[in-house]
Amino acid sequence: MTRLLYFAWVKDKTGIASEDIELPGGISTVADLIGWLKTRGPEFTHAFEQDGAIRAAVDQTHARLDTSVADAKEIAFFPPVTGG
Amino acid sequence: MIRVQRDDFDIGKEIDALRKGRTGIGAIVTFTGTVRDAHGEVTAMTLEHYPGMTEKELARVEAEAHARWPLQATLIVHRVGRLEPGDNIVLTAAASAHREAAFEAARFLIDYLKTSAPFWKRESGPAGDKWVEAAP
């Protein structure tokens, strides 16, 4: 199982903060995962339609679109950070 | 040291703790970020974060500062939850033997934090709520 986390407006749009899922076969990178998430219904399509505005972290480390998710325990999606 | 907390911080007490027992310090520079309401549009600001990753990122930022400058001590305190205009948001401090390293490191701590630590600000005002957009 992989835990998916959503923060800030990504969470507002998906309607959930976290979920535990079994990643479907064929998903090896962050980009693959975003592509699949977009197909999960209108909320997810809406949340990920501006995918250039979304950042990801794999196991609590900043990730890129080509970062592997093969052995990930936790994958998070969020807007660019605005702390400080 | 790094801390993420809901409560306010007292800059004087934080600096006292930072310098205590460290007589090699000759310069301490602090940066304080506060909630701004420049145009009468913000009644509250709520800070969300990613527990776990936040602490890892702040520790990474602090370690990077120590790798770049000769520092006796550093501190990052970042608040989360609901804040109001004028409230403290963040404190960074760098202590070194000399001022150059302290100035540069204190600035580095806040600049790097702003681009890497997973915090998100949501502003509330008369027009409703909106997520603050990252600076380009």
Question: What confidence score (pLDDT) does residue A56 get?
Answer: 98
Question: What confidence score (pLDDT) does residue A50 get?
Answer: 87
Q: How far is CA B13 from CA B10, B41, B98, B104, B107, in A?
A: 5, 32, 22, 22, 21
What is the total count of domains within chain A? 1
Q: Beta A55-58 vs A61-63: how paired, if at all?
A: antiparallel
pLDDT digits (tens, 9 = 90+) for A11-23: 999 999 999 999 9
B118 contacts A57? CB cut-off 8 A: yes
Out of A8, A57, A84, closest to residue B48 by CB: A8
In a domain, B122, yes or no: yes
In a domain, A25, yes or no: yes
What is the total count of domains within chain B? 1
β-partners of residue A24 are none
Give the ipTM.
Answer: 0.95
Find the CATH number of the domain harbouring B122: 3.90.1170.40
B53 contacts A57? CB cut-off 8 A: yes
pLDDT digits (tens, 9 = 90+) for B57-81: 999 999 999 999 999 999 999 999 9
Find the CATH number of the domain harbouring A49: 3.10.20.30
**Domain enclosing residue A13, as ranges:** 2-78
In a domain, A84, yes or no: no
In a domain, A83, yes or no: no
In a domain, A15, yes or no: yes
**Domain enclosing residue B101, as ranges:** 2-126
For the cut 90, the answer to whether the pLDDT of residue B33 exceeds it is yes
For the cut 90, the answer to whether the pLDDT of residue A48 exceeds it is yes
Question: What confidence score (pLDDT) does residue A17 get?
Answer: 98
In a domain, B42, yes or no: yes
In a domain, B53, yes or no: yes
Question: What confidence score (pLDDT) does residue B12 get?
Answer: 98
